[in-house]
Amino acid sequence: MSSELAYRPATPDDLAACERIWVVGINDYLRPMNLPAVPDDNPGLRRLHAHTLATDPERFWVAARGDRVVAFGSAVERGRLWFLSMLFVEPAEQGGGVGRELLRRMLPRPLDGRVLGTATDSAQPVSNALYASLGIGPQLPLFDLIGRPRPDRPLPALPGDVRAVPLALGGGPELDALDRELLGFEHPQDHAFLHDPDRRAFGYRDGGGRLVGYGYASVAGGIGPIAVRDRSLMAPVVGHLLRTVEPRGASTVWLSGAQGEALAASLAAGLRIDGFPLLLCWSRPFADFERYLPISPGLP
């Protein structure tokens, strides 16, 4: 190796290198399994990196040899949750302790009662072993459901007393209150991040006008986050978002093993599971995943 490895907090100038390392890091383990490669250009990933660097600059780190960034990691803190968003090391540098050292620098010290969480690829033994060795163990599978619902096999409709109303993007006190109930924290900064022209947000209200859920869907295809007060609303809300927001291509929704009814209904409607599941990992339970579907695997 040419020069010494140095660890430092990331800057916006590092984000292009982080995207490159993410692409080569994933493709390096997908290729031997004959799985399709991820593309070189990932606008959604760039937006996520810019967001986590803006909200949690002290938790976004890189490792560099001279001018060349060879690894990066990013985490966010929301309430008592510390969540690892990304950890990627260039293939030539893997297995030499770089990932563990980045994590050591990013983890909260002392823990002060914090819960540690992340999402891993079930097909990746190294990351699963590394996080489990720190007590962040695999708990819940997340399946990527893709496709469009067949009109002749609709998902369940919303109950008669629940109506969907478009919500202004950007969040607000009602959403914060529901997040506190389901996640243990509010995250208005992430609702603000979801504010983009391609996205629609809906509130679900009962007969008395009370907010019983919210859900987001993008015309780019992604569905989530979704939060519902009653777990039986998860499948109807997934169905409503799939029907109402027509994507440019296929829809994609990450459903967890805790959302059995929504999973069954989506499969019955013709959506297909894509690839291996991810695994939600945590050191202690922190959220009600029967009633909450995360923003993405990289942001709770």
Ligand X SMILES: CC(C)(COP(=O)(O)OP(=O)(O)OC[C@H]1O[C@@H](n2cnc3c(N)ncnc32)[C@H](O)[C@@H]1OP(=O)(O)O)[C@@H](O)C(=O)NCCC(=O)NCCS
Identify which of residues 27 and 189 has a Cβ nearer to ligand X in the complex.
27
Q: State in angstroms the smallest separation of the CB of 76 from ligand X.
A: 15
Interface positions, 17-36, toward ligand X (CB under 6 A): 25-26, 29
Closest CA to 237 of 264, 197, 203, 270: 203
Min separation Cβ 79 and ligand X, Å: 22
Report yes or no: 118 and 83 within 8 Å, Cβ to Cβ: yes
Our finding on whether 298 is near ligand X (CB under 6 A) is no
Subset of 113-172 contacting ligand X (CB under 6 A): 120-121, 124-127, 129-130
The pair of structure tokens assigned to 96 is 């030499």
- Taking CB under 6 A as the rule, does residue 98 contact ligand X? yes
Q: Which residue is nearest to ligand X (CB)?
A: 99
- The window from 43-51, 96-104, 108-116, 161-169 that contacts ligand X (CB under 6 A) reads 96-104
Minimum distance from CB of 108 to ligand X (Å)? 19
Q: Which of residues 243-262 bind ligand X (CB under 6 A)?
A: none
Name the one range near ligand X by CB under 6 A: 35-43, 82-90, 212-220, 239-247. 82-90
Chosen residue from 53, 75, 76, 89 binding ligand X by CB under 6 A: 89
Q: What DSSP line would sit under the chain, residue for residue?
A: --S-EEEEE--GGGHHHHHHHHHHHHHHHHGGGTPPPPPS--HHHHHHHHHHHHH-GGGEEEEEETTEEEEEEEEEEETTEEEEEEEEE-GGGTTSSHHHHHHHHHS-SS-TT-EEEEEEETT-HHHHHHHHHTT-EEEEEEEEEEE---TTSPPPPPPTT-EEEE--TT--HHHHHHHHHHHSS--HHHHHHT--TTEEEEEEE-TT--EEEEEEEETTSEEEEEEESSGGGHHHHHHHHHHHS--SS-EEEEEETT-HHHHHHHHHTT-EEEEEEEEEEESS--S-TTTEE-SBTTB-
Nearest to ligand X of 121, 174 (CB atom)? 121
Q: Decide: is 97 part of the binding site for ligand X (CB under 6 A).
A: yes
Q: Which is nearer to ligand X, 87 or 245 (CB)?
A: 87
- The least CB distance from residue 66 to ligand X, in Å, is 19
For the segment 35-74, give every residue that binds ligand X (CB under 6 A).
none
Using the rule CB under 6 A, give the single segment among 84-92, 143-151, 220-228, 231-239 that binds ligand X: 84-92
Find the shortest distance in angstroms from Cβ 281 to ligand X: 9
Write out the residues near ligand X by the rule CB under 6 A.
25-26, 29, 87-89, 94-100, 120-121, 124-127, 129-130
